[in-house]
């Protein structure tokens, strides 16, 4: 039964990661629309989108933390719970980098003659790619460790 419960929780985690991916897609689309509204940016609409996405991310994070708690406690799988803790850290980092990148893109658009802004965009994109790779690694480790115990 414990193995089955773990499997169900990890399937839910996959669904939550898909929800996160969709939220990021909506955020990116919204940011592109925001940038295309220059020079008279439609900030109220973008702010509303950011609020909605933030609420979604908060709900997802809360559920991931509950899953980690069950894995750590009643299901006696602290190894898997540790992966979820690392996942949450990297997801937080990804969200922060995404916000920084969006601000940098706007600065680069508003000041096309300032090479420093383009450099900042490139550096943030690189950091974001590294963070996404780390998230993928954690998810692979989680999958491997959960299958190993079956």
Residue with tokens 């943030």: 124
Q: Indicate whether 1 pLDDT > 70.
A: no
Structural domain for 64, as ranges: 2-148
pLDDT in tens, 95-142: 999 999 999 999 999 999 999 999 999 999 999 999 999 999 999 999
Tokens of 129: 């790619």
> Is residue 81 classed as helix, strand or coil in its secondary structure?
helix
Residue 134, C-beta contacts closer than 8 angstroms, at least 6 positions apart: 90
Among the listed residues 112, 106, 113, the one whose alpha carbon sits nearest the alpha carbon of residue 43? 106
Question: Residue 145 and residue 8: Cα distance in Å, rounded?
Answer: 15
Q: Indicate whether 145 pLDDT > 80.
A: yes
pTM above 0.75, yes or no: yes
**Count of structural domains, the chain:** 1
Residues 53-76, mean pLDDT to the nearest whole number = 95
**Any idea what the CATH number is for the domain that residue 73 is in?**
1.20.1420
3 falls in which pLDDT band (50, 70, 90)?
A: confident
Among the listed residues 122, 121, 120, 63, the one whose alpha carbon sits nearest the alpha carbon of residue 91? 63
């Amino acid at each position: 039964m414990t193995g089955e419960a773990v499997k169900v929780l990890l399937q839910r985690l996959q669904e939550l990661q898909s929800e996160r991916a969709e939220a990021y897609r909506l955020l990116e689309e919204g940011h592109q629309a925001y940038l295309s509204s220059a020079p008279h940016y439609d900030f109220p609409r973008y702010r509303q989108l950011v609020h909605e996405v933030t609420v979604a991310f908060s709900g997802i994070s809360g559920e991931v933390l509950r899953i980690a708690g069950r894995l750590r406690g009643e299901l006696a799988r602290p190894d898997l719970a540790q992966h979820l803790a690392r996942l949450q850290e990297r997801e937080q980092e990804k969200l922060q980098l995404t916000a920084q990148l969006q601000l940098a893109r706007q600065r680069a658009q508003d000041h096309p003659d300032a090479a420093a802004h383009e450099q900042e965009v490139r550096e943030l994109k690189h950091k974001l790619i590294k963070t996404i790779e780390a998230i993928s690694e954690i998810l692979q480790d989680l999958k491997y460790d959960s299958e190993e115990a079956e």
